[in-house]
Amino acid sequence: MRVPARFVWLVVGWGLGCGGPGSGEVPDALGASPASLVEAPAPRDEAEHPLGGGRFGRARRFTDLTQPPERDWPRPSHLMAFRGELFFAVDYRAGAPEGELWASDGSARHTRRIQSFPPPAAVFNGIDTAQVLGDTLYLTIQHTEMHGEAWVSDGTTPGTVRLVDFPEPFGNSVTPVTPIRNRVYFIRSFQPSPFDPGFSELWSSDGSRPGTRRVVTLSEQSYGATPSCQASTGDWMFFGLSDASSGNEPWISDGTPEGTHLLKDLNPGPAGSTPCAGGNPPKALGDEVYFTRSQAGEPELWSTDGTAAGTRKVMEAPAKPLQVVKKHLYVVQHRPDGLALWKVRLRDGQDGAPEHAVTIPSAPGARFPPSVVSSLAVGGRLYLMLRASGAEEGEPNGQLWVTDGSPRGTRRLHDTVTVQDNTAPRIERYDMLASGHHVLFGCHAAGTGRELCVTDGTPRGTGLLQDLDPGARSSSPHEFVCAGRHITFVAHDDEHGDELWKLKPHAGLHPPTSCVTSHQGQQ
């Protein structure tokens, strides 16, 4: 049975073969030195920028969700494109009676509420994840930590209904859906309290109440599925699960009871290996899944073909998967001299030996190498938003870099302040969006806070696009998404709080279906 294309899924929850030497020392394969990397000139202001003055388009606010005297609530979050429109959550402060799903065509007139999700406990945290599979959009929504429910929607109020009724009123958690062939799967866990084991089950659905059923009980002594630790090759899914006997270990399922089991006990005993440690989600690439496990507190990169014999360590040194560029998996590694990028060539049924690509040097005086807070792979290049460790509030500690995997093609595009300051919204987001040959992001420029900036991948073509909240205050634009004919995002000002803004690029600058959004997560 096929999954109906008309449904939007809502999960409502209340409540990196070894390439290094035997000693483990990482060789500098390319001999790159920091001096070989291209430095950026000083940031340009909007008047100087080649796309300033409206040539790229001017952004404008089109919602007014926050009403005086409030400045922070309600706020839009988890923007997603579905059926040619923008869908988003409206989050209310803790203690509010409910959260809501809204939709918009980019105009105030046609911005509307789709459905409310009243929880049994009066706390709402908002939509957690969103993914588009074909023409179906899947969401996870968190209300509280004490109860989870699955809902299904066709984008209308009457078509947004509870998918399955669980008998226990509290203690449920539900993972995001994962596709296997023509159905979707999720893990439902029940714990009577956060400290006591309960049970975990694999569920399957075709998007209807009659077509939703339990596949198998995974464990009767479970502490639940690992958050954000699911991936699908199309024929089987990888996920992390914690139980009392084996601890937190990788599991797989092909959607059948007999094909659902512990993949491999990487750390025998109840301690577990903690797949996806440090918030590093697995990456499904062809018939392989790449994931991290924790070893002495450091992440190790592993891969699997879905069998215990085909589950192997990719690198000896600690490393984390990042993005795929031109059939290479890029991984990051923290070294004393900076942030090392490695490439693992992806081949049919196997991965090649890791090759060192380039090391981005630590800032002068920095105690630790920078970390990746956002990454974007587009046009054969990898954009990296980096954050230095140990900087004081207000000091420039963030940089935007671009690389093609070679020292000559690696350069710093912009220095920007990414620390949270008193002029910015309380949400710390470092999103990027590629629109055609340009990338939008948030940055500081002379005399501004963190505002809307753009780059074409060159230092000269990088700078401020528009000061949305004029002066030293920050609008902190984030959650960029292409919906319909517009790029939509969230930005902040003192008068209106967090609201929705839209930008319609001029013809030639924004080819249809060309938008790519960044991956968030500390690396």
Parent domain of 401: 8-15+43-174+369-520
- Strands 136-142 and 8-14 turn out to be parallel
Report the candidate in 212, 253, 234 with the shortest Cα–Cα distance to residue 134: 234
The Cα 445–Cα 337 span in angstroms is: 28
The Cα 190–Cα 264 span in angstroms is: 24
221 domain-assigned? no
514 domain-assigned? yes
159 domain-assigned? yes
Span 249-282, pLDDT tens digits: 999 999 999 999 999 999 888 888 889 877 788 9
Is the confidence at residue 513, as pLDDT, over 60? Answer: no
330 and 322 in contact (C-beta within 8 Å)?
A: yes
| The pLDDT of residue 400 | 92
Report the candidate in 229, 315, 233, 333 with the shortest Cα–Cα distance to residue 276: 229
Give the total number of structural domains in the chain: 1
405 domain-assigned? yes
496 domain-assigned? yes
Task: Give strand pairing partners of 455.
Answer: 439, 462
451 domain-assigned? yes
86 domain-assigned? yes
Coarse DSSP helix, strand, coil percentages of the chain, rounded to the nearest 5 percent: 0, 50, 50
Q: Burial, 210: exposed, middle or buried (Cβ in 10 Å; 0-12, 13-18, 19+)?
A: exposed
Span 292-327, pLDDT tens digits: 888 777 788 899 999 999 999 988 777 777 788 888
The Cα 310–Cα 471 span in angstroms is: 56
Span 102-157, pLDDT tens digits: 999 999 899 999 988 765 544 455 566 667 676 777 777 666 656 777 777 888 88
pTM over the 0.85 mark: no
In sign, the C-alpha dihedral spanning 142, 144, 145, 146 is negative
Cα 228 to chain center, whole Å?
A: 9
139 domain-assigned? yes
- Order of strands, edge to edge, in the sheet holding 462-466? 462-466, 450-455, 438-444, 432-435, 516-517
